[in-house]
Amino acid sequence: MTERPVIGIFGAGKVGTALARLLVASGHEVLIAGSPRQTALDLLVSVVAPGARVVGPDELVELADVVIVAVPFGKAGSVPWDRFDGRIVVDAMNYWPPVDGNIAEVDEDPRSTSELNAARNPAARVVKSLNHLGYHDMEDDALPPGARLRRALAVVGDDADARAVVARLIDAIGFDPVDGGALAHGVALEPGHPAFGQALSAAELGALLTPAAHLAA
């Protein structure tokens, strides 16, 4: 993989477009695919995320080195997980019952939501990140690499090489990456858990991720 991988984003909402702006600013080629029901998507993206290129789902899967899934959690099934074999896939979603409704299968499953998504395609290299800060904080809190007092973002996943790739992206867009280990640790990043929505240093965030078992209750 090149030093600056091509990034594909599923989701042209507030999170997807905020990430697109940061990634374009950091020198990455960014492809973005929105809902088929979104009209004038090219115009929208040209205004809110200039430099990103609107493509269809098939072209995004074909060209992207790293895929970021930033659709509403309840729409996760609309993403072509079956085509993600061997691909690094960043799960940037959160399960929000006020938006998604209560999904019994999720409420009753002890696994993290990213583990549930990873089960859609066990051959995908799923990483959880970018979900535990608000879209409005993404640009406000980003600082150049090497700056002091940068906000930390966690990277969790079962593939260490995939975590390393995503960690470099996190650093490039202005945050300190924290390697949180296995994908199951992503429960610490979900709504209702201590890391969610908090502006933390790398040391503070790392402490919340170790051991993750203490955070599952």
Segments making up each domain of the chain, as ranges: 7-149+161-176
pLDDT range class, residue 36, cuts 50, 70, 90: low
Reduced to 3 states (helix: H, G, I; strand: E, B; else coil), residue 88 is: strand
Average pLDDT over residues 163-169: 97
39 pLDDT exceeds 90? no
What's residue 156's pLDDT?
97
Pairing relation of β-strands 66-69 and 88-91? parallel
pLDDT for residue 203 is more than 90: yes
Indicate left, alpha or beta for 11 from its phi (over 0: left) and psi (-120 to 50: alpha): left
> What integer pLDDT is reported at residue 145 of this predicted model?
82
> Cα 11–15–21 angle (5° rounding)?
95
Per-residue model confidence as pLDDT tens digits over 85-118: 999 999 999 999 988 889 999 999 999 999 999 9
More confident residue, 126 or 34: 126
Instruction: Please name the amino acid found at residue 193.
Output: H
**Regarding predicted confidence, which is higher, 1 or 203?**
203
The one-letter code for the residue type at 63 is L
pTM of the model: 0.93
Q: Which is the CATH superfamily of the domain at 7-149+161-176? A: NAD(P)-binding Rossmann-like Domain (3.40.50.720)
Provide the pLDDT for residue 215: 39
The confidence score (pLDDT) of residue 35 equals 78
Question: In whole angstroms, what is the distance from residue 53 CA to residue 209 CA?
Answer: 35
pLDDT, residue 83, reads 97
Phi, psi of 22 (to 5 degrees): -65, -40
